[in-house]
Amino acid sequence: MSSADGLNDLATVPTREALYEDHRHLLDLLRSGAAEADDAGRLPQAVLTAMRSSGILAAAVPPEYGGPGGGALLTNRLIEHVAEADPSAAIILYQHYAVSARIGERGTAEQRAHYLPRLASGEWIAASAWSESGAGADKRNIATTARRVDGGWILDGAKTFTTGAGLASFYLVLAQSSEPDGRELAYGTGGQTFYLVAADSPGLVADAGMDLVGMRASATGFVELHSCFVPDAAVLGPVGEAASIIAEVRDCGATLGAVAVGIAEAAHRLAEAHARARGLDGQQAVRFRLADLAGRVESARAIVERAGRRESDAPGLTTLRSKLVASTLAEETCLEAQRLLGSTGFLRSHPVNRLARDVRAVGLMGPTNDLCRQLLSEK
């Protein structure tokens, strides 16, 4: 492997164990602060500072711009570890990696030189602003428009559910830049374009103030665009082709299923620790239930690893399945862990309840589980 290839060669991707050790400090900090972050509805400043300086934000950035050039195998493993410690931080990281990868693949030389070194160093966090109320999970009816003007574009619209709102230095915004062209795409439609919009652009207002049931520390909120001017250089990829880019992205193997695996692992550990502490692990019925739980976690991890390795004949379909299967198994794991914890788990403050709230979000996020089923059933 030449150094320019980065960590795309499977043999060179560090093991999950090695990655855990590399980031142990950050993971311990995230884990110890997760309950407080959930209460407060935001990550503590110390955690954000540690995340920025830990090097973890660089994973998807190519070596020539200061990262290790990791593909999905590396980023899925890192996301799993972060999700086990704090799922809210994991979805911020997932969006950051997704935008880093899109710029690496689709950016112009100028865009890559401008964004990637700052994304690698942790100076900048990136977020995706695609969703809107009324747009639908499949983003075919977005109301955010991009109008061509001299030297650039004027964006108008209101995005919802943007993870990292207010934290991000810039947003990958999806906007309708021309009439839908009638192409049948299951996610998005023709005539949509991606724009890289700086958080301090005049006319952009970000607000993390959504009161969510789960993923409460993920700064998931609103991004409003009021006659927001962006130069031509802000366009990422070909004009009008965002939906085709989204369709291709799945082939890379990056999956929110990794968030689900981390959550399932955390719930499994809570159940195991409780059984041990109460001396219940001597009982056959409890041991059987714990064995089933461990099997679910391992199955979820296996399909996420398979997506990251891109070994299947249809990597895009495996990526969709990995998200669907891992999030479903993780929801079941959390429910079963709640049952195993008995009345202890019925205390509002017990961490298993936070995990159960957080895990629901994975099924609701891009693409939603129903949309995954739709996309898989169309093939």
Distance between CA atoms of residues 40 and 117, nearest Å: 31
Handedness of CA 292, 294, 297, 301 (dihedral sign): negative
C-beta closer to ligand FAD: residue 76 or 368: 368
Contact letters (x/-) for ligand FAD, 15-34, by CB under 6 A?
A: --------------------
Per CB under 6 A, does 370 bind ligand FAD?
yes
Nearest residue (CB) to ligand FAD, 111 versus 368: 368
- The residues, ordered by sequence, that sit 6+ positions from 100 with a Cβ below 8 Å of its Cβ are 60, 61, 67, 115, 116, 119, 120, 126
Task: Rule CB under 6 A: choose which of 100, 128, 176, 193 binds ligand FAD.
Answer: 128
Residue 204 CB, shortest distance to ligand FAD, in Å, is 15
Is residue 284 classed exposed, middle or buried when 0-12, 13-18 and 19+ CB atoms within 10 A define those classes?
exposed
In 3D space, the residue among 377, 364, 372, 375 whose CA is nearest the CA of residue 91 turns out to be 364
Residue 91-120 contact track with ligand FAD, rule CB under 6 A, x = bound: x---x-------------------------
CB of 173 to ligand FAD, least distance (A): 9
* Nearest distance, CB of residue 110 and ligand FAD, angstroms: 25
User: How many whole angstroms separate alpha carbon 65 and alpha carbon 147?
Assistant: 32
> Using CB under 6 A, which residues numbered 141 to 200 contact ligand FAD?
161-163
- Name 357's Cβ contacts closer than 8 Å, sequence gap at least 6: 213, 214, 215, 216
In the complex, minimum distance from the CB of residue 128 to ligand FAD, in angstroms, rounded to a whole number: 4
Binding to ligand FAD, residues 330-369 (CB under 6 A):
361, 364-366, 368
- Indicate the residue among 93 and 290 with the shorter CB distance to ligand FAD: 93
User: Which residues sit opposite 301 in a β-bridge?
Assistant: none
Site string for ligand FAD, 204-223 (x = CB under 6 A): -----------x--x-x---
Q: What are the tokens at 12?
A: 């060179």
- Site of tokens 């810039």: 170
Residue 105: in which H helix or E strand, if any? helix 87-106
Distance of closest approach, residue 159 Cβ to ligand FAD, in angstroms? 7
Residues that bind ligand FAD (CB under 6 A): 91, 95, 127-131, 136-138, 161-163, 215, 218, 220, 361, 364-366, 368, 370-371, 374
